[in-house]
Structures are given as structure tokens and as C-alpha cells.
């Protein structure tokens, strides 16, 4: 990995004179500035990157200032403004910010102070902020996933309504339970006026979300086809058994620019598929996976792992080997999670080496 990619996620405190912790909400910025000698200056201002830059220029002229704020609903607009002006800014994951034991007082000023002091002590590493087409891809895949979530929820509401009213759900072959034929039968069911009204609205909601999900998916495909770098990356990812277009596009949206990947273990940790560990001396104690990162993408990878072991003999043998090591009540779950983690290693290799995966 090149030094530039590393520098986007961390700083060397000796390279900076001032450290600014920012607690950001939709209306204001609470900023605390500290230097190497514990000089502390706190200020609150309207949420505007221009105001922050003007204040910094006025009070800390000729000082090298590093900024940090937590990732949250305000997104990356402030990050973009600061970096465009030549200032160093990190966006930190809230889960990775050090917390003092026993601390029961929380205010915007104290939070900004904690961020500034942690940045000065090199205790914070920034997340990789998606740029350009990768940020657009993330927006679109998140939109599609939100509609897919609504589709699943609406289907559950329809089944729950029918169960509550004692109405049998129309029979259909496996895999076609929500076909157009079944939807038509649901629309023609005889029931009380209030139940009919509720069911009709749920069916309308289902149709609307399905249409929006399809539109979103078409827009994702359009973006991927128009960007050569993303298109190549998706093609490489789809060459891996178990990785289809949906998983590839969602994974790339979360990973971002493949050039910033550091090592082969990074993706497993990023998707929360790395086991927790509490080891000391000669004792090694590994627990369940960390479950960090996007839970929907992790579920997709595990689902893809089931497909992969049916297509790749090497992965199938790996699955069986892990399965035999564990009690049968949880062996399948542990083994398929291990396969999903191995898929992340293959994803790293094809992205970094820019080549298709070939089954031996």
C-alpha cells in the first residue's frame, strides 16, 4: 500500500502544531483546539466549514492543524471542505474512539475535547471516506437495500395479517410464493371490508417498493457500467464462486477504492467476520465473530458462501474440515462463516491483482 493511502487514515502528531476535535450536529460545530502543551480553546459556531476555516486562520495562523470528527448523519461535507482547503481531516468511527472508564458526563464540548486529545495522542484512526463514483455507488446500493428491506417487511405484514384472521395463504411451488399469480389471488380473497382495505394497501405498498427497488438496481448497473474502474472490479469479484452481481456491487460500495486496501486480513475484519480473541501467554481463546461493519453485507457474504461450497471443491473441503472440528449443533454456522471469511481473502486478491479468479 502506498504511503498516501495510509496518510488518509492516520496522522503523526509530531507533524502538527494543533489538534482540533469537532462535535458536529446539523446546526452547530463544537470545536476544541489543543496543542502539545495542553493549550485548550473551545468554541461553538454554526455548522459551516467556511466559518471553521476562518476561525482557524484567524486564531492559529501559520499553525499546522489536524481536524477530526465522528462519522454520523452529517456525512462527509465538512471533511470535503476541510480537505479541499488543504487542511488535514479524519473522520473517526464512533466505536473506535477511546472512552474513559466511569465517565458519566457527556456534552458537545467534552466530546470535542476528547476527540482533540485522542488525536494528539495518536489514538484515533480515520475511516476511509468514499470518493467520487464510489460514494455515488454507496448511495445507490443503500437506497436499493432500503427498498428490499421494506419489501421483506411488507411480506411479513401480509402473512401476519392472514395468520391473525385465520386466512390460509395461497399455495404455490417453492420459489414462487410471491409470484404474480399469488399476488392476484391475494387481491381477490374474500374477507371483511376492513381486512380487505388493509390487505389492499399492503399489496400496493409491496408493488411500489418492488418498482422502486428495480429502478434503483437499474441505476446501480448504469453507474457501474459507466465507470471503467468499478466495472472491472465487479467483473473480477464476480469471477469468485458465490459472488454474484448484488454482492459484488454492495461489497465494492462499502470497500471503496481498491487501491487503499492494506492487507489480506483487512476485509475479513471490515465485514466483521474475524473471530474475537482473548489470548495470553500460551493460552489462546477465540470467541464469536466481531460483527463489525455492515450486517446486511455480512449476511450476503454468508449466503454467498453456501453457493460457493457447491461450486468450488476446495471451499467444500474447507467447509467439511471446519465442520468436523466443532459440535454438530453449531458446526454448520461456524464452518460457513469461515468460508465467508475465506471469500474476503479471495476478494482482496482479485481486486489488488486486477485479475479474474480461476478455480483450480
The CA distance from 123 to 97, in Å, is: 8
**Same domain membership, residue 95 and residue 23:** yes
Residues 234, 217 share a domain? no
Domain boundary among 199, 226, 253: 226
Asked if residue 142 and residue 80 are part of one domain, the reply reads: no
- Whether 125 is covered by a domain: the verdict is no
Spatial separation of the C-alpha atoms in residues 162 and 167, rounded to whole Å: 5
| Residue 111, in any domain of the structure | yes
Domain-ending residue, one of 179, 196, 226:
226
Domain-located, residue 190: yes
The domain total for the chain is 3
Residues 79 and 180 in one domain: no
Instruction: Answer yes or no: do 323 and 346 share one domain.
Output: yes
Asked if residue 329 and residue 222 are part of one domain, the reply reads: no
88-92 and 65-70 as β-strands: parallel, antiparallel, unpaired? parallel
Q: What is the pTM of this model?
A: 0.88
Choose the final residue of a domain: 173, 198, 226. 226
Cβ neighbours, 10 Å, residue 330: 10
Q: Are residues 250 and 216 in the same domain?
A: no
Q: Which of 27, 107, 97 is nearest to 68 (CA)?
A: 97
Residue tagged 495562523 (cell numbers) = 61
Domain of 44: which CATH number? 3.30.420
Question: Measured between alpha carbons, how far is 168 from 140 in angstroms, rounded to an integer?
Answer: 37
18 in a domain, yes or no? yes
| DSSP string of 104-146, one letter each residue | ----HHHHHHHHHHHHHTT---BPPPP-HHHHHHHHHHHHHHH
3 state DSSP class of 327: coil
Q: In what order do the strands lie in the sheet with 88-92?
A: 40-46, 28-35, 18-24, 65-70, 88-92
In a domain, 337, yes or no: yes
Domain that holds residue 95: 3-120
Distance of CA 252 to the CA centre of its chain: 10
Along the 360 residues of the chain, how does pLDDT read in single tens digits? 333 333 357 899 999 999 999 999 999 999 999 999 888 899 999 999 999 999 999 999 999 999 999 999 999 999 999 999 999 999 999 888 888 777 777 899 999 999 999 999 999 999 989 999 999 999 999 999 999 999 999 999 999 999 999 999 999 998 899 999 999 999 999 999 999 999 999 999 999 999 999 999 999 999 999 999 999 999 999 999 999 999 999 999 999 999 999 899 989 988 999 888 666 666 666 778 888 888 999 999 999 999 999 999 999 999 999 999 999 999 999 999 999 999 999 999 999 999 999 987
Amino acid at each position: 500500500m502506498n504511503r498516501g493511502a495510509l496518510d488518509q487514515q492516520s496522522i503523526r502528531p509530531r507533524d502538527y502544531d494543533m489538534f482540533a476535535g469537532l462535535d458536529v450536529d446539523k446546526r452547530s460545530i463544537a470545536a476544541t483546539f489543543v496543542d502539545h502543551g495542553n493549550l485548550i480553546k473551545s468554541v461553538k459556531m454554526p455548522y459551516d466549514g467556511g466559518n471553521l476555516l476562518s476561525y482557524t486562520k484567524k486564531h492559529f495562523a501559520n499553525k499546522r492543524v489536524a481536524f477530526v470528527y465522528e462519522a454520523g448523519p452529517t456525512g462527509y461535507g465538512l471533511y470535503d471542505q476541510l480537505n479541499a482547503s488543504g487542511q488535514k481531516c479524519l473522520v473517526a468511527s464512533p466505536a473506535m474512539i477511546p472512552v474513559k472508564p466511569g465517565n458519566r458526563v457527556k456534552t458537545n464540548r467534552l466530546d470535542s475535547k476528547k476527540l482533540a486529545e485522542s488525536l494528539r495522542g495518536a489514538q484515533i484512526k480515520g475511516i476511509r471516506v468514499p470518493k467520487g463514483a464510489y460514494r455515488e455507488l454507496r448511495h445507490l446500493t443503500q437506497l436499493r437495500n432500503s427498498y428490499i428491506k421494506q419489501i421483506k417487511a411488507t411480506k411479513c405484514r401480509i402473512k401476519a395479517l392472514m395468520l391473525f384472521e385465520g386466512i390460509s395463504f395461497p399455495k404455490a411451488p417453492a420459489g414462487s410464493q410471491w409470484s404474480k399469480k399469488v399476488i392476484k389471488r391475494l387481491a381477490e380473497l374474500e374477507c371483511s371490508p376492513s381486512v380487505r382495505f388493509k390487505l389492499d394497501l399492503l399489496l400496493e405498498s409491496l408493488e411500489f417498493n418492488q418498482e422502486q427497488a428495480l429502478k434503483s438496481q437499474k441505476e446501480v448497473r448504469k453507474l457501474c457500467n459507466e465507470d471503467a474502474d468499478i466495472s472491472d472490479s465487479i467483473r473480477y469479484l464476480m469471477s469468485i464462486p458465490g459472488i454474484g452481481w448484488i454482492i459484488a456491487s454492495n461489497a465494492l460500495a462499502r470497500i471503496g477504492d481498491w487501491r487503499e486496501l492494506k492487507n489480506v486480513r483487512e476485509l475479513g475484519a471490515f465485514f466483521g467476520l474475524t473471530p474475537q480473541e482473548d489470548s495470553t501467554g500460551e493460552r489462546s481463546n477465540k470467541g464469536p465473530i466481531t460483527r463489525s461493519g455492515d450486517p446486511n453485507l455480512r449476511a450476503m457474504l454468508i449466503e454467498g458462501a453456501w453457493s460457493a461450497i457447491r461450486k468450488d471443491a476446495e471451499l467444500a473441503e474447507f467447509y467439511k474440515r471446519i465442520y468436523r472440528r466443532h459440535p454438530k449443533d453449531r458446526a454448520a454456522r461456524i464452518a460457513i462463516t469461515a468460508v465467508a471469511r475465506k471469500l474476503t481473502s479471495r476478494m482482496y486478491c482479485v481486486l489488488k491483482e486486477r485479475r479474474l479468479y480461476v478455480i483450480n
